[in-house]
């Protein structure tokens, strides 16, 4: 089997892999909202539980985490840890609808030119589908009548979160294009993220000892679901898909969160939101129809197998 054929097959697998990761990510805000402690405490334990899990996954499937590799993870780890902390604070201090809507703006930032940092150009054929997905997303989240729990403070945290995550997302793609192993990258950014957010979380949180039995179960679920499944698959798929495609697929995550909030937390979901969900799915399908468009071919020596 030639390298080009193998890469094409991995690209075919990458889209469903991202869809599964997006589903796992969509469950994350629901787990955070179900906990009885602050966003700072959630972030603190989530990162410290996640780091050993990523180190084990890297030991099993990745390449050695050397000092050189860890140094390359310092900048993305800074933005990743900050995004994790601010995102959890946002979910705890504003509505899930607001937090997920603002947090879904990463594809817009990518389409507006951030993809140029990884040698990609926005495919004009994708823009109508992307706009359709954004319109559907707005209907899903803003079409609800239940806006209780929203706050400007939480919305600001969500806005800072999406900026940090967008920077991390672009650096992830750049490192993967350079041949950086996905599990090694995740292990590194989790370690750096732990170091970055720990002083802030300890200083800002007053309930670090208030974590109960149900909270521990939800934390474990976050490590396994949004953590290992979500970040693991996104990290792998980012090597085989354009950053625009991967980021657009993440638009499905807020839809899952809103539907979950309706099922679990009795948030209203009306006909407008159902229509919005259909538009999001249709826009996503159109935006990834040509997966090869906009991608920058990697040197054959750096193409790695699926693990």
Taking a C-beta distance cutoff of 8 angstroms, is the pair 125, 189 a contact? no
Least confident among 44-58, 185-199, 281-295: 281-295
Kindly give the interhelix angle for 39-61 and 182-204, rounded to the nearest 10 degrees: 160
Q: Cα separation of 6 and 305, whole Å?
A: 8
pLDDT tens for 19-36 read: 999 999 999 999 999 999
Q: pTM of the predicted model, to two decimals?
A: 0.82
Would you call 213 exposed, middle or buried from its count of C-beta atoms within 10 A (0-12, 13-18, 19+)?
Answer: exposed
Residue 105 neighbours by CB under 8 Å, 6+ apart: 162, 166
**Cα dihedral 108, 112, 116, 121 sign:** positive
CA–CA gap between residue 228 and residue 134 (Å, rounded): 27
Give how far Cα 71 sits from Cα of 53, 61, 166, 177, 303, Å. 20, 20, 20, 17, 22
Q: Which residues, 6+ apart, have CB-to-CB distance to 263 below 8 Å?
A: none
| 1: Cβ contacts below 8 Å, ≥ 6 apart | none
Q: Which residues contact 6 (CB under 8 A, 6 or more apart)?
A: 303, 305
Whether the CA torsion 29, 244, 51, 223 is positive or negative: it is positive
For residues 24 and 260, what is the distance between their CA atoms, to the nearest angstrom?
12
pLDDT at 305 over 90: no
8 Å CB contact between 29 and 95: no
Q: What's the mean pLDDT in 101-128?
A: 75
* pLDDT confidence of residue 301: 31
- Element spanning 202, H or E: helix 182-204
Residues 263 and 252: their CA atoms lie apart, in Å, by: 17
Tokens of 139: 């209907």
CA distance 51 to 202: 18
* pLDDT tens digit sequence for 200-247: 999 999 999 999 999 999 999 999 999 999 999 999 999 888 887 888
pLDDT tens per residue across span 140-189:
777 755 555 667 788 889 989 989 999 999 999 999 999 999 999 999 99
150 within 8 A of 296, measured Cβ to Cβ: no
More confident residue, 28 or 134: 28
pLDDT score for 150: 65
């Amino acid at each position: 089997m030639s390298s080009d054929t193998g890469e094409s097959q991995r690209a075919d697998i990458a889209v469903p892999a991202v869809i599964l990761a997006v589903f796992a990510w969509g469950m994350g805000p629901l787990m955070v909202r179900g906990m009885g402690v602050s966003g700072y405490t959630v972030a603190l334990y989530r990162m410290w539980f996640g780091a050993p899990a990523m180190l084990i996954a890297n030991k099993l499937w990745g390449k050695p985490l050397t000092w050189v590799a860890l140094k390359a993870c310092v900048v993305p780890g800074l933005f990743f840890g900050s995004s994790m902390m601010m995102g959890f604070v946002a979910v705890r201090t504003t509505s899930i609808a607001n937090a997920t809507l603002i947090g879904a703006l990463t594809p817009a930032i990518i389409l507006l030119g951030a993809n140029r940092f990884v040698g990609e150009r926005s495919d004009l054929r994708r823009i109508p589908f992307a706009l359709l997905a954004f319109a559907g997303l707005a209907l899903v989240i803003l079409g609800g009548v239940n806006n209780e729990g929203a706050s400007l403070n939480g919305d600001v945290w969500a806005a800072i979160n999406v900026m940090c995550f967008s920077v991390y997302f672009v650096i992830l793609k750049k490192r993967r294009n350079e041949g950086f192993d996905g599990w090694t990258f995740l292990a590194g950014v989790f370690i750096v993220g732990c170091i970055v957010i720990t002083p802030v979380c300890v200083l800002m949180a007053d309930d670090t000892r208030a974590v109960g039995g149900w909270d521990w179960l939800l934390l474990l679920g976050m490590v396994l679901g949004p953590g290992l499944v979500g970040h693991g698959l996104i990290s792998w798929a980012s090597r085989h898909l354009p950053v625009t495609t991967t980021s657009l697929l993440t638009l499905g995550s807020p839809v899952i969160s809103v539907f979950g909030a309706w099922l679990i937390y009795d948030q209203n979901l009306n006909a407008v939101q159902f229509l919005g969900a259909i538009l999001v799915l249709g826009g996503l399908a159109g935006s990834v129809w040509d997966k090869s468009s906009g991608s920058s071919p990697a040197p054959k020596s750096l193409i790695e197998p699926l693990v």
